[in-house]
Amino acid sequence: MISFIKKMLGFEELDYTRLMERGAIIIDVRTPQEFKQGHVKKAINIPLSDISRSIKKIKQKNKPIITCCRSGARSGNAASTLKSAGIEVYNGGSWNSVRDAIRN
C-alpha cells in the first residue's frame, strides 16, 4: 500500500548507486536559506522558482538529475517540469533521504 502511494506521489525506488555511477546531478530545489541549513554533499541549489529558467543549462549537462527538497513536494514539481523538457529526472524526495541513500 505504501509503495503504491509513493508511486502516486511521484516517488520511485531509485538505484542511487547506478545513477551516481552515471554521473547523476543532485538538484536541491529549496530556498538558498534552507539549503544553507544543510544539504547533500555536491548538491546544486536551484530553487523551484528558478527551475524553468535553468532548463537549458541543466539539459546541457546531459546527465541524469535527482531532485530533492525538504519533504518531496517541491522536488516532485521540479521533476515534472524537467521531465516535460525531456530531461532524465528522478524525484529523490527529501534531501535527508537522498543523503542517506547515497552514503550506503
- Per-residue pLDDT of 5-57, as tens digits, reads 455 555 557 899 999 999 999 999 999 999 999 999 999 999 999 999 999 99
Q: Which fold has domain 2-103?
A: Oxidized Rhodanese; domain 1 (3.40.250)
Supply the pLDDT for residue 79. Answer: 98
Three-state secondary structure string covering the chain = CHHHHHHHCCCCCCCHHHHHHCCCEEEECCCHHHHHCCCCCCCEECCHHHHHHHHHHHHHHCCCEEEEECCCHHHHHHHHHHHHCCCCEEEEEEHHHHHHHHHC
Does residue 7 or residue 61 have the better pLDDT?
Answer: 61
- 104 — pLDDT class (breaks 50, 70, 90): low
Q: What is the pTM of this model?
A: 0.87
